[in-house]
Amino acid sequence: MQKVAIMMGSDSDLGIMKAAGEVLEEFGVEYCMRILSAHRTPDQTTAFAKAAAAEGFGAIIAGAGGAAHLAGVIASETTLPVIAVPILGASLSGLDSLLSMVQMPSGIPVACVGVGAARNAGILAVQILSLSDAALREKMKAYKARMVQQVLDKDNRLQQNGWRNY
């Protein structure tokens, strides 16, 4: 099975990005987590991106705030799918990060989840890897079935108890 890289521009992003690691652990997907900056460690960042496919990675999750160029820099140096996680910023509530991630130039696509949605990034990475891994695909189907059941159970509780006693 291929593995996933979880990259973040700063250790201040770890509180958000750990959710991607938790998802990968739930599904039994090997991953590594790195702090590399598009601006402060550009050589190390591009070296990691260039070597990622050869080192067995199947997807890269990149979280960053502010100017948030990490995902784009990585995407420019690899053929692997890159999933961006905009991190909530102090000045623009993550909008600056979101826009810098979704407004990539033609030819350098980056998938982007919601602001702070590292869990969804992990799930998307699992879905990408499951395209070539039948066992992982079955785990994803079971995960989705559990979500359906959870919602139905909550609805049943609401119907039985009413909204005041829910």
Domain boundary assignment for the chain = 3-132, 134-166
Report the pLDDT averaged over residues 10-39: 97
In the predicted model, is pLDDT for residue 160 greater than 80?
yes
Which CB contacts under 8 angstroms, 24+ apart, belong to 129-133?
A: 129/1, 129/2, 129/4, 129/29, 129/58, 129/59, 132/2, 132/58, 133/1, 133/2
CA separation (Å) from 146 to 39, 53, 73, 85? 41, 32, 36, 25
In the predicted model, is pLDDT for residue 91 greater than 80?
no
Give this prediction's pTM. Answer: 0.94
DSSP annotation of 20: H
Distance in angstroms (rounded) separating the CA atoms of residues 9 and 62: 8
Report the pLDDT averaged over residues 54-63: 98
- Range 3-132 classified under CATH 3.90.730.10: no
Distance in angstroms (rounded) separating the CA atoms of residues 96 and 91: 9
Given pLDDT bands bounded at 50, 70 and 90, which one contains residue 156?
very high
